[in-house]
Structure formats: C-alpha cells, structure tokens
Amino acid sequence: MQSWQLPEHVADVLPTMARQLESAREQLLALFRVHGYELVQPPLMEYSNSLLTHIDAGLSLKTIRVADQISGRQLGIRADITPQVARIDAHLLSANNGINRLCYAGAVLHARPDGFFSTREPLQVGAELYGYDGIAADIELVDLMLKSMALADFGDVLLSLGHIGVFRALAEAAHLDREQSAQLLALMQDKDAEAVRKLVAGWQLDGMWAKAFSLLPTLYGGREILAAARAKLPDLSAVGKALDELQAVCDAFPEQALHIDLSELRVDNYHTGLLYAAYGAKSHDAVARGGRYDGLGGHFGRARPATGFSFDLRTFIGRLPDAGRSPVIMVAQQDAAAAREAVAELRAQGQCVIVDYGMEHNGSANIAGRLKNIDGSWQIVGV
C-alpha cells in the first residue's frame, strides 16, 4: 500500500468542490447571522469527558481518543460540536441568563462512518438556541433549518417530526429500567410491532403499557397521526404535552410536506423532547437533523433549555450554482517587481492577479487580461 493513501472514508476536497463548500458555508453563516445567531469556534479536541463520551454510548463509539503528551490525560477529537456549544453556553457565556443564539461550522471526526457511503470527516454546520423552553424556540429552529435547505437544490423537502417524550413517558409509567428501554428503542427502529409485542409480553407488563408500546411502531404518517395517537395511547399528561408540541409545529408550517413518526427515535442520548429532520427529494437519509436537549449544559455547571439542528455541509456539494474560479489577471514575471503597487491595488479590489512564469497553470482557462505598462502606466489589456 502506498504511504500517501488516505484512510478509508476520508477524502481530499479539490478546488471545484472546495469553492462550493466555502460558498455554502458563507451563505449559511450569513443566513444564521441575520436571524441573530452568533458564530462560535470550539477547538477540534478537548479532554474526552468534556465531549460527553461518558454519558452517550453512541457518541463515545464515534470519538477518536489520543493521549495528551502535556497533561497525560485522555483527549478526544470531537465527533459532534453540540456538546461543545453547550459547554460554551454554560460556562463561557454564563453571564447571560437570557437567550443565547449560537451557530458553528467546522470539521468533526468519526472513528467509524455512519454508513457505507458516509465520510468519517463531516463538515458540521448548525445553530442552537439556549435559554427558552417554549415550543416557539423549536419552531424557530425548524424554520431556520428549512431556510438552510432552501439555499441549495434539494427539490421538494420533507419535514419529519418525532418526540422522544412519548416513549419516555410510557417507559416511566411502565417502570422500565434503562436496559429494557434500550432494548425497546432498538426494536422501534425496525417498525417491527410484532417483535415489540413479544418482548413486552415476556416482561409481563400491564396490558395497557404492552399495548401502547406495540402501537408506537404503527403510529407514523401524515398530520392525522396525532389524532390517532390521542385516541389510542394512554392518557398521560407527558404524552399529551408531547402531542401538543407536535401539533404546534404542524400548525406553524401548514403548507410544508410533513411526516410524523412516533417511533422515529434515532437520537443521541442527550435529546429530551421534540425531534425534527429534513429530507431532500432524492435523499435516502436526512440532510439535517435536530431536536430539543434540555439540561445538557448541566454537565458543565448550568442546565438550560436548548434546541438546535445540524447537518454535514458536504451534502451541499453539487447542489449550489458552481462558484467558479475568479477571472485571472496575468503579469509577466519580468514585470512583477515594477508592477508591485498596481498588483497590490488590484488585489485589494478583489481581483485575482498571478505571476506568469511562462508555464501552464491551474488558472489558464480563466485569463481575463494581462497587466502591461503602456505609456508609463499599468493597464489591463485583453488576451
């Protein structure tokens, strides 16, 4: 094997794609900025416990760990930026007891890819709102997520909604332990109501809870699912609150294509409430995912309500207009020193000026003119 080959699921980004990524990043951060979200840039690595690997098994498996040669402690290379932003809100921005709107854009590293075609180095972009526990905050973030999708050509976008609160309310009422909850969550992903029924039957649960868990994998579809859930699920206040929140989101986006799934629970362990995702017209997986994760900052000394979403910026490649390379102004090598001031002025204006060494170069196809001295002044002439 060649020593220069990259690890599996890791790839270089070449100029055309790099321009698209940077263009998408600029547009998204500009969108976040006009909605009041301020940019933060957490470090690529921290002590592994600060990345919450000790409380989230899925996140722990994704995190690459190395020994810190200075402190001797274990470092983690971030696999998710959300815990870092929660730390910033809880600690560095603790003087603000009101709302913090924060956004970010940076690389994360995964020990293993999420799927066969997934990269191990996603470029994670996201927005988070801390300090307000009302459903209006979730609606604001869903709206911003959909606006982010609208910047690129994803076709007709489908908004998918779920709520971890429904399952957790049932699990608590049925007195399930953590291991039982984890087993049920795994089966829910396959929409296998029969497997769920057999599992809960073996636990000899009260019939009402056994029926409710068996129903959850069947409660998916359009907006009508909420009425069906109210009619069929046990009358628990926490279940009712979760359904009310889902209804509020549906009402906020009356024209949006929408799918509700009460067993769609593919979440990190830190999520606590509403779950939302956006799918493109030809996307086999969600382009963006988000949800509520109240209390995450408690691991850093300040528990706060929070909601937010993120996505891999690489999904925007090929879905934005080609940014193209800037037109190039050439200056001959022998003229470069004499034309230094003219070149500096053109570059300050945003023009791309490169020195011509008499060889082919990667700007050859974009030459817009040449800088030449005509009657004592430097002027751009056509090629």
What is the CATH number that goes with domain 1-153+292-324?
Answer: 3.30.930.10
The pairing of beta strand 38-39 with beta strand 100-107: parallel
Please list the pLDDT of the chain residue by residue as tens digits (383 residues): 566 788 888 888 888 888 888 888 999 999 999 999 999 999 999 998 888 877 777 788 889 999 999 999 999 999 999 999 999 999 889 888 899 999 999 999 999 888 777 889 999 999 999 999 999 999 999 999 999 999 988 999 999 999 999 999 999 999 998 888 888 888 887 777 888 888 888 888 888 888 998 889 889 999 999 999 999 999 999 999 999 999 999 999 999 999 999 987 665 567 889 999 999 987 788 999 999 999 888 888 899 999 999 999 998 887 876 666 778 999 999 999 999 999 999 999 999 999 999 888 776 678 889 999 999 999 999 87
Residue 269, φ and ψ in degrees, nearest 5 = -60, -20
DSSP type of residue 90: I
Domain ranges, ordered by start, for the chain: 1-153+292-324, 158-279, 328-381
According to the annotation, is 266 in a ligand binding site? yes
Question: Rounded to whole angstroms, what are the CA distances from 278 to 159, 285, 319?
Answer: 5, 9, 15
**124 annotated binding-site participant:** yes
The first and second tokens of residue 31, run together, are: 């969108």
Q: Which residues contact 93 (CB under 8 A, 6 or more apart)?
A: 100
Between CA 120 and CA 361 the distance in angstroms is 32
How big is the chain by its Cα radius of gyration, in Å?
A: 26
The reply to whether domains 1-153+292-324 and 158-279 share a CATH topology is: yes
Q: How far is CA 17 from CA 24, 197, 271, 320, in A?
A: 10, 48, 33, 10
User: Cα(83)–Cα(346) distance, rounded to whole angstroms?
Assistant: 44
341 annotated binding-site participant: no
Residue 365's pLDDT is what?
Answer: 72
Residues in the chain: 383
- Neighbouring residues of 165: CB distance < 8 A, sequence distance ≥ 6: 238, 239, 241, 242, 245, 272, 273, 274
Tell me phi and psi for residue 266, to 5 degrees: -80, 85
Q: Is 225 annotated as a binding residue?
A: no
218: annotated binding-site residue?
Answer: no
CA pair distance 263, 195, nearest whole angstrom: 14
Helix (H, G, I), strand (E, B) or coil at 243: helix
Those residues with Cβ within 8 angstroms of residue 377's Cβ, 6 or more apart along the chain or in another chain: none
Is this prediction's pTM over 0.85? yes
Of 149, 141, 159, residue with least CA distance to 309: 141
The CATH number of the domain covering residues in 158-279: 3.30.930.10
Phi–psi pair at 378, nearest 5 degrees: -85, 125
Q: Is 302 annotated as a binding residue?
A: no
Distance CA 155, CA 312 (A): 17
